[in-house]
Amino acid sequence: MYQYDQYDQKMVDARVEEFRDQVDRRIAGDLTEDQFKPLRLMNGLYLQLHAYMLRVAVPYGTLSSKQMRMLGHIARKYDRDYGHFTTRQNIQYNWIKLEDAPDILADLASVEMHAIQTSGNCIRNISSDQFAGATADEIADPRPWAEILRQWSSFHPEFSYLPRKFKFAVIASDTDRAAMRLHDIGIQLVHNDAGELGAKFFVGGGMGRTPMIAPEIRDFVPADELISYAEACLRVYNRYGRRDNKYKARIKILVHELGKEEYTRQVEEEFAHMKQLGLNPPVEELARISEFFQDPPFDTQASDDLDLSDPDFALWVDQNISAHKQPGYAIATISLKPRGGIPGDASSAQIDLMAELAEQYSFDELRVTHSQNIVLPHVRKSNLYAMWQKLDEAGLAPANLDLITDSIACPGLDYCSLANARSIPLAQKISERFADLGRQRELGELKLKISGCINACGHHHAGHIGILGVDRKGTENYQLLLGGSGAEDASLAKITGPGFTEDGVIDAIETVTDLYLEQREEGERFIDTYRRVGMARFKEAIYG
């Protein structure tokens, strides 16, 4: 894992003290809320429905056990004993007191963490593949590149006041586990014909009120020019992105309005200029950062044998364990989607336990996924059963990864001041309706994603089944969408038709899953059958 150098630590420590002074001035009345609001937002502190909410950055979703323990400590000491892992691989605390915020940031800084750039019209947390450095299907570890982008984008003076917020994702596999093409810039590390490492750039994706899949604008940027190319993409956006209308200010609108060809032409022109400026990180710095992401000391003699005689354990292994590049090891995903639970929530005790298990079994490393789960990336197979038993005791062993109850849900109207409808109760009721694990497994991979408003923090556009909560004359109403995907087969879900009540939309989901089971052909997932059969057949089943 990357470790702060003296500059990183000084910057973060200085920001804590600066914010402490700003909070003091706000409480003393030297700053109005209008003056203070942009300052607190720069430090990830929002004012939500019930209290202040603090969003803490987890760079590319990677945490050490020490950092995870600190997240548990903050939940216990300053919040109401839990945290909420988000679809941006971050964590949020919902009950923060303004006067505690500087102390929390100081605690975070003590473990090389912060909440900087988790709000505002700047480059947000860089997201990545939660299996980075562990999966066999990647061509390189994307984390060093995500870290370089993090350093480049942190406090970048030119990009601190963009037309709108800006999100990067970096992956290095043809399997997209990071919804890469639904980001403002998606980067996929690739090799060219000469075997050299570089990056494919996708620009102008996103969800929200105008969902778009990012088009590819360049098939190969040499790795050592990646930062310059990203800077060129941002410069064109910063120059021409709309600042007059926040709903049209994201880069996806610019790329769409200019057209991919014209946007790309301007980026290439800027890139040619940038190359003369020598702004790429020195090769030595790339090497220094990469050193932090070397493989842990795997036991090359580790056995691949697994005793699956415990049927519950066998189910969990089958559903939640993914192949590791190192023989004898596995990638374990801890589902934060228990039956009737709140997607992404974990108590301080659960956070502590996951930290302990990572320390004991996963070379001290954890990952947060955009699906609001936690990954232990390097677990020796011979340790899986002991680890699973501890997870199971703590309610952390639902065997439902990628099944219908492994849903994404934004905080919705239960917490969020932007929301129009509650989303968590829907996730809870769906997890009850489809609680039978046999039924879930019969349905197979089914990505269900729920948003409580058009801003789409719950990624409903990318759900095989998506739900969007809307306000219909003061009453919660839910639109059903079908056919989305955030994976390598990215597609945008379409609305089926008129909306439903809370119970009505759950019935409708049951109708479409029943139709899928009836219509599917050998090997088809829900999304495959939907694409083959088409929306009309599903609409007919739902609305008659």
Interaction site with other proteins (CB under 8 A): 26-27, 29, 33, 47, 49-52, 80, 94-99, 342, 413-415, 417, 419, 422, 424-425, 428, 471, 474-476
In 292-423, which residue ranges form alpha helices assigned H by DSSP?
311-320, 348-361, 384-393
Beta carbon of residue 521, minimum distance to other proteins (angstroms, whole number): 38
| Three-class DSSP category at 307 | coil
- Encode 397-453 in three state secondary structure: CCCCCCCCCCCEECCHHHCCCCCCCCCHHHHHHHHHHCCCHHHHHHHCCCCEEEECC
Task: Pick the closer one to other proteins by CB: 99 or 304.
Answer: 99
Handedness of CA 157, 158, 161, 166 (dihedral sign): negative
Can you tell me the distance from the alpha carbon of 189 to that of 191, in angstroms, rounded to the nearest whole number? Answer: 7
Q: Which residues contact 253 (CB under 8 A, 6 or more apart)?
A: 210, 241, 242
Cβ atoms of 378 and 93 within 8 Å: the answer is: no
Closest to 200 (Cα-Cα) out of 234, 167, 162, 173: 173
For 20, 239, 243, 398, 453, the CA distances from 39, given in Å and listed in that order, are 11, 24, 20, 40, 26
Exposed e or buried b per residue across 90-116, where buried means at least 16 C-beta atoms within 10 angstroms of its C-beta:
bbbbbbbeeebbbbbbebbbebbbbbb
Beta carbon of residue 107, minimum distance to other proteins (angstroms, whole number): 19
